[in-house]
Amino acid sequence: MIVAVAALALSGCMRRPGPVAVVAPAADLDTLAYGRPGYGPAAVPVAYASPVSAYDAQYKLDAGDKLRVVVYGQEGLTNSYAIDAGGAITMPLIGRVPARGMTPAALAASITGRLRNGFIREPSVAVEIEAYRPFFILGEVAAPGQYPYVPNMSVESAIAIAGGFSPRAKRDEVTLTHTTIEGSYRAVVPLGTPINPGDTVLVSERWF
């Protein structure tokens, strides 16, 4: 009964969001910020995410994610930033900016507000995900460990990346642990179950 409840909670966390409207530039962020003569920044402050999938638009950031932050006309601020173990990025001028649990668009808005507070009159900020935090696979696979996450991965593809099942693997008992800022969810899941950045896949051992 407990496993069934956990599985339901887990499946809710793993559901992919549907299509959403995203205000996005037509080119990559750095080109928009610096490389298009005749196109200046907007007349009003702007904070938006880069051209991303609906999944990225709703994705909740956490420690280990690597971001590209572009501040129009401010090369000293435009850079790649990794979210540290405390769930924040550190930028020139404004210091530590909490990022854990935020979407890229929400983080862009937060950075915009901080820069506007005494640093830049009309800051325009964009944030995109440069690299997701890794996932982990343990137990009876050929090469357990930590691996880079790729969007739309499933438990089955994660096992394949880790070299496949070991000879002692219990193939019908794979446990997935998904952790958010609200807590952790653990359940035995089918191989087709989607996984997310930071998830842990555990393949059990069979005894005969």
In the block, tokens 């990225």 appear at 56
Q: Which tens digit of pLDDT belongs to each residue from 14-50?
A: 444 333 323 333 345 555 555 544 444 443 444 444 4
- Token code pair at residue 27: 């080119």
Q: Which CATH architecture has domain 17-131?
A: 2-Layer Sandwich (3.30)
Domain 134-205: state its class: alpha beta
Could you state, in order of their start, the residue ranges of all structural domains in the chain?
17-131, 134-205
Q: Where are the beta strands (DSSP E) in the chain?
A: 46-49, 66-71, 79-82, 88-91, 95-98, 124-131, 135-139, 145-147, 169-180, 183-188, 200-205
pLDDT in tens, 92-117: 999 999 999 999 999 999 999 999 99
pTM of this prediction? 0.71
